[in-house]
Structure 1
Amino acid sequence: MAPNSRIILTRHAEAEHDVDLDYSIPDAPLTPLGKKQAATLAPQIPQLQNEADLIRLGIENVICLPQVQECNDLPCDTGSPREVLEADPEGFWAADPQAIANRARWVRQWLRERPEKTIVLVAHGDIPRNITAGPNGPSTYPWKNAEARI
């Protein structure tokens, strides 16, 4: 990890599955409110303002990391599976507590090895609780839509 690094964990903005708790919607798009939440997220984090323009200009620097997918096995959280995942939906990607803990450990290690000084990780609401888990396990705090923590 680069000296003086910052990791900003963020829950995605409101999506269609959040409104009526309809977890059967695969790849649920953002609602109009969710689009507003996403647009106003950067100004809510003053420390991110200098990086915000770089992020918009440097879209090639975006890394999509499947290891930070949500912890549930609901269609709205798993998205469209790849052929490899269809062949082996369990193991590393499973929704059981041990597999989730292993995946969260992998993400923490991956973040430690990154050279960037500022990393913004956007995910669903449950996996950040596991990534930030302490010795007593993950927090039970429910992350709000478009919530960010440094």
Structure 2
Amino acid sequence: MGKTTIHCVRHAQGYHNLNEANHQIHDPDLTTLGEQQCATLSQTFPYHSKVTHLVASPLRRTLYTCLLSFPAEVQAGLKVAALPELQETSDLPCDTGSEPSVLAAEFASGKFAGSVDLELVKEGWNNKQGRWSPAGSAIEARARDARIWLRNLAQSTGGDADIAVVTHGGYLHYFTEDWEGNEKFTGTGWANTEFRSYEFLSATDEAASLVETRESRERRKGTEKPLSADEQRELKAAAEREWRDSGFQSGSGAENAKL
């Protein structure tokens, strides 16, 4: 397998981020500030010339963050692949995606017509049941499936790939299996439009686990040495307890409503 880098990005500010009442908005759009954050990221992201694929959660805020943050790539013909496994963790309206037909209509015309690939977005992807539920085990399973899908995507093109993945703050802790600093913001250690870069642990690892690059850790001033597996488990358990006590957890899953 060649060198594959996954550039993980948290979405820009959405209307649900403004206050708790807005958590009842179904699949909210980006705020004006959110759009400005995307414009800033488009100017500061240093790897535009290397990006080979664009992938995003099918929620509207993540799709638009990807489209607005990587305009050169979109203009060059790269489509944003909408991957349901990347959707946010909770079952609140703000974290529940739109029907496939609604998304298809929205991206069939206008500025971004034809720029989003919805082939993987099937009926039921947004029902928040079964594999899509807010249960911790379900989130972990689809995070693993998303990593495997991305690794297979890279391998299908020879393994040399730089993939930009736009998703959600709470979900990113499950996706990267890194819980360091998860209390920095409300329910996440990721700021809006923050990006971090990762490589796969190996080409055969069953979990397709990721390892953050040294350059990425230095850029965000993370701990010099990655945390141990035991330390990560302790942080994960503490974060889920905090989310549950704060009312952002339903059942056994992390319900990160403010993300």
Length-normalised TM-score, structure 2: 0.51
Q: Which amino acid aligns with 1:147?
A: E
CA apart distance, 1:84: 3.7
Instruction: Find out whether 1:33 has 2:33 as its counterpart.
Output: yes
Larger strand fraction of residues: 2
* Maintained 8 Å contact 2:97/2:126: no
Give distance in 2, aligned partners of 1:39 and 1:10: 14
CA deviation profile, 1:62-92 (whole Å, cap 9, x unmatched): 2011110001111111122458428964211
Q: Which amino acid aligns with 2:97?
A: G
**2:86 matched to which residue of 1?**
68
Cα gap change, 1:111 to 1:86, in 2 (>3 Å): closer
Tell me the secondary structure at the aligned position of residue 95 of structure 1: coil
Cα gap change, 1:25 to 1:9, in 2 (>3 Å): same
Give distance in 2, aligned partners of 1:13 and 1:87: 21
Q: Mind listing any 5+ residue stretches in structure 2 that lack a counterpart? A: 52-69, 101-121, 183-187, 198-259
CA apart distance, 1:30: 0.7
> Which deviates more, 36-45 or 3-12?
36-45
Q: Identity rate of aligned residues, in percent? A: 34
Tell me the secondary structure at the aligned position of residue 149 of structure 1: strand
* Maintained 8 Å contact 1:16/1:28: yes
CA apart distance, 1:58: 1.4
Q: Superposed, which structure 2 residues align to 1:120-139 within 5 Å?
A: 120-133=164-177, 138-139=179-180
CA apart distance, 1:3: 1.3
Q: Which amino acid aligns with 2:151?
A: R
Larger helix fraction of residues: 1
Q: Mind listing any 5+ residue stretches in structure 1 that lack a counterpart? A: none
Question: RMSD across aligned C-alpha pairs, in angstroms?
Answer: 2.3
Q: Which amino acid aligns with 1:10?
A: V
CA apart distance, 1:102: 0.5
Give distance in 2, aligned partners of 1:84 and 1:147: 31
Q: Which amino acid aligns with 1:108?
A: R
**1:114 matched to which residue of 2?**
153
Q: Which runs of 4+ in 1 moved over 3 A?
A: 49-52, 81-84, 86-89
CA apart distance, 1:54: 2.9
Question: Of the two structures, which has the highest relative contact order with CA contacts closer than 8 Å and spacing of 6 or more?
Answer: 1
Q: Which amino acid aligns with 2:195?
A: A
Q: Superposed, which structure 2 residues align to 1:1-150 within 5 Å?
A: 3-21=2-20, 22-49=22-49, 51=51, 52=70, 53-59=72-78, 61-81=79-99, 84-85=123-124, 89-115=128-154, 117-133=161-177, 138-139=179-180, 141=182, 142=188, 143-150=190-197
* Maintained 8 Å contact 2:98/2:126: no
Give distance in 1, aligned partners of 2:17 and 2:42: 21
Point out the structure with max Rg over C-alpha.
2
Count of residues in correspondence between the two structures: 145
CA apart distance, 1:49: 4.9
Give distance in 2, aligned partners of 1:24 and 1:16: 10
Give distance in 2, aligned partners of 1:121 and 1:54: 13
